[in-house]
Chain A
Amino acid sequence: MADEPLILGIETSCDETGVGIVRGHTLLADALASSVEEHARFGGVVPEVASRAHLEAIVPTMDRALTEAGVTLADIDAIAVTSGPGLAGALLVGVAAAKGYALAAEKPVYGVNHLAAHVAVDTLEHGPLPEPAIALLVSGGHSSLLLVDDLARGVTPLGATIDDAAGEAFDKVARLLGLPFPGGPPIDREARAGDAAAIAFPRGLTAAKDLAAHRYDFSFSGLKTAVARWVEARQRAGEPVPVADVAASFQEAVCDVLTTKALAACRANGIETLVIGGGVAANSRLRALAEQRAEKYGIQVRVPRPKLCTDNGAMVAALGSHLVAAGVAPSRLDLPADSALPLTTVSV
């Protein structure tokens, strides 16, 4: 629909420089530059390396997005940018870029919440999101369970990880097993040939005593340690490590906890829609298990395609589009990058 606003989104909260362009719920462009390979040898994201890469990538990535969408910056109605949470120095490049584009093109700018954008991106694939909905966001940086009452104005945090993020656990276990970084895709691949019931790894914060205080929180640190101990015991005994079985059993433990808690949140709140986003949402077992379990309760699971689950500019544009449609006022030009932006703030 040509009369819907044309929105540009910029994402630089971690190691991906993303520029996306949407019209309404229609995705027109999703250009991405990643510095992931520069971080691989460190086993995690190095903030200064990521920030330098964003500065180099932003202009060419913008060019690619505009070409892909067949529009110019003069055609854009508003610019949305991730203003937090994320790596402070990395966010700052994107926020300053958005302001530069907004200033020069004389367009409004919206500083938006990265996590809310992970929820909003699903509208590009499945249309308007029924509200309220429950959102499970799992990646190398976040593991959160949210109640989405009104995506334009506020999201209620229900729970989060109390130690490692889910994706971080994948990275660390992959390292133990001699698999590459980031660990999600290789573990998913190995697990297909393994037995998920081979090893009984712990499910963090699922015991009755933990549920009282941490009903919707996650913990993956104990699981990671348990995998490390199990693998080391094998190695000390001089026995081969059954990589596929370890990967499958570890992955099952993570997916079991994530889906159990997410569906419990849906049922406790009488909610029929579960959205899953973040890099770990690309995990095939998580998708399958969530769908299989949700079916029993008549809950609909919405998971965008893998490229939209990981960090990208389209998700920011999608949230911007939602904000513009809801009549939310744009941000001021002094909008800060806020590495700890709370979830209750969807736009600043």
Chain B
Amino acid sequence: MAAGRLGWLTVLVLVVDSSTPAVTAALVEVSADGVASRAHRCTVDARAHGELLAPQVDAVLADADARPQDLAAIVAGLGPGPFTGLRVGLVTAATMGQVLNIPTYGVCSLDGIGYPAAVGEPVLAASDARRKELYWAVYDGAGQRIVGPEVSTPVVAAARARELGATAAIGDGAHRYAETLGLPVRVEPRYPDATVLALLAAERIRAGAPGERLTPLYLRRPDAVVATGRKPVLP
């Protein structure tokens, strides 16, 4: 790999996010002065995170002509997101990090939507939380998260966003509840942007900070409904 400026090497980083209906795997190069995308795969299918993610990781490695041992770190979107799909990305990152003995860094997935969208004015970033609710956060004009992540009805999210001066709503959840939110909806990014997630972890990557245990931002307690016929088998 090419040596970056200031004597700091460019390193290859895997990014995964499965917090929304979009399943994303990307390879980025983190250098002393930036983050550049090397390969990117994203499929929107809320029901197939478990099937899609690993082949996509395999594909981005192949696209970049890289092997797993070439990775220096893994960045994963911590959600919030519907539980089952969210865990796919986090367990993939954690297990690969364990094998490769490289650090794993978590980033709030909503930051991958709100950070790039907030250019000068506050924005609301929202993803679908199902059950007629949104996962959301509000970002100031510089892209810093000032409130959230939270889960609530779109009405509550809209009221908070207006209080905080948000002038636009971004993300899949914003599209879904555009009318209720009553804010202009920005088209992009609709789902967490992998390069942005890497950018938000870049300081830690460059500093060689210790990796963190990837704990999902569930925001909801588990439904305490006992499984019935927990292993349904046989015709």
Q: What is A's interface to B at a CB cutoff of 8 Å?
A: 13-14, 39, 42-49, 51-52, 55, 58-59, 62-63, 73, 85-89, 92-93, 95-97, 99-106, 114-115, 139-142, 144, 157, 160, 165, 332-337, 339-340, 342-343
Contacts and interface: CB of A to CB of B under 8 A. Distances in A.
Contacts of B55: 332-334
Interface string B46-63: 001111111101100000
A85 B50 contact: no
Residue among B92, B94, B231 facing the most chain A CB atoms (10 A cut-off): B231
A5 B178 CA distance: 56
Nearest to B226: A44
A347 to B, nearest CB: 16
Residue among B57, B95, B226, B233 facing the most chain A CB atoms (10 A cut-off): B233
Interface string B125-144: 00000000000000000000
Nearest to A92: B50
Interface of B: 48-55, 57-58, 67-68, 83-84, 87-88, 90-96, 98-100, 216, 218, 222-235
Contacts of B88: 92, 96
B13 to A, nearest CB: 14
Nearest to A109: B54
B233 A333 contact: no
Residue among B222, B226, B227 facing the most chain A CB atoms (10 A cut-off): B227
Contact of B84 (A62, A92, A139, A343): A92
Nearest to A88: B84
B112 to A, nearest CB: 20
A347 B50 CA distance: 17
A85 B231 contact: yes
Contact of A101 (B95, B227, B231): B95
Contact of A14 (B93, B222, B231): B231
Contact of B226 (A13, A43, A332, A334): A43
A46 B91 contact: no
A93 B164 CA distance: 38
A334 B52 contact: yes
29 contacts: A42-B224, A43-B226, A44-B230, A45-B226, A47-B227, A47-B230, A48-B222, A48-B223, A49-B222, A52-B218, A52-B222, A62-B95, A86-B231, A87-B230, A87-B231, A88-B84, A92-B49, A100-B92, A100-B95, A100-B99, A140-B230, A141-B229, A142-B231, A333-B54, A333-B55, A333-B58, A334-B51, A339-B232, A342-B235
Nearest to B221: A48
B219 to A, nearest CB: 13
Contact of A100 (B84, B91, B216, B227): B91
A320 B81 CA distance: 33
A59 B222 CA distance: 22
Contact of A144 (B84, B229, B233): B233
A305 B50 CA distance: 34
A87 B99 contact: no
Nearest to A164: B229
B226 A105 contact: no
Given A55-B90, A85-B232, A104 B95 contact: yes
B87 A96 contact: yes
B234 A157 contact: yes
A13 B96 contact: no
Contact of B222 (A46, A93, A115, A337): A46
A140 B230 CA distance: 8
